Chain A
Amino acid sequence: AQSVAQPEDQVNVAEGNPLTVKCTYSVSGNPYLFWYVQYPNRGLQFLLKYITGDNLVKGSYGFEAEFNKSQTSFHLKKPSALVSDSALYFCAPLAAGNKLTFGGGTRVLVKP
C-alpha cells in the first residue's frame, strides 16, 4: 500500500526567502514520487518527479526536490520564493498501473 504525509497544512514564507515543503512517503518496492501544484480554480500542474538516478531532481518554475531513501522523504524546495508561488502543493507516490496517491496537500503563502 502507498501512503504519503505532508506534515504542514500551511507554510508561510517571505518573498525572496527559501521555500521548503515537506513530504514523507511509504511505498512497497521502488518509490516513484511526484510533486504537483494547484493554483486557485485550476487543475493540478506537474512540477517534477523522481523515478531513478540523481537524488536531486530539478523541475518547473525553479523548484527542485531531494529524494532521501533512508528518511523516506521527498521534500520540495525553491531557493527564492515568489508571491506567485502561493498555491496548494501535493506530493504523490505512484503505485502500479500509474495510480497517484495524494495526501491533503500543503498550502504555501508567500508574502511580499
Chain B
Amino acid sequence: EAGVAQSPRYKIIEKRQSVAFWCNPISGHATLYWYQQILGQGPKLLIQFQNNGVVDDSQLPKDRFSAERLKGVDSTLKIQPAKLEDSAVYLCASSLDSQGPSYEQYFGPGTRLTVT
C-alpha cells in the first residue's frame, strides 16, 4: 500500500514570507497529524484531525500557523509569516482511527523548512 505522501521535500524561504506544506495520508486513514521536529529534538504534535474536524490544536501557534483538511483526506499546513525559529522538519502522519491504542501512526518523509 502507498505510504503517507508529503510535498515539497525541501523549502527555503526568508523570514516574514509564507509557506504551505501538503500531505496525502494513507487511503482510508481517518486521523491525520502534523508534527514539528526541530533539529536534535523529538517530534512535537501541532494539530490532529479526525476526518475533517480538528481534535487537538493546543500546540499550534495560531497567530501564524493554520491547517485544514478539506473533505477529510488531504491536508495543508501553512505558516504566515515565517520566523527563523520555524526552521524544522514538518512531519505528517496518519492512522486508521484515534479511538484505539492499537492504531499505530504512519509517517511521511517530512518537509525540511529553512527560514533565513
Contacts and interface: CB of A to CB of B under 8 A. Distances in A.
Interface residues of B, number: 29
Contact of A90 (B4, B42, B97, B109): B42
A92 B108 CA distance: 18
Interface string B90-116: 010101011111111111111010000
Interface in A92-106: 92, 94, 97-100, 102-105
A65 to B, nearest CB: 14
A43 B100 CA distance: 23
Chain B residues touching A, majority SS:
loop
A44 B91 contact: yes
Please name the 8 residue pairs, one residue from A and one from B, whose CB atoms are nearest each other, closest first.
A102-B42, A43-B107, A98-B98, A32-B101, A44-B107, A46-B104, A43-B109, A102-B43
Contacts of A45: 107
Contacts of B97: 98
Interface of B: 4, 31, 40-45, 48, 55-56, 91, 93, 95, 97-110, 112
Contacts of B110: 42-43
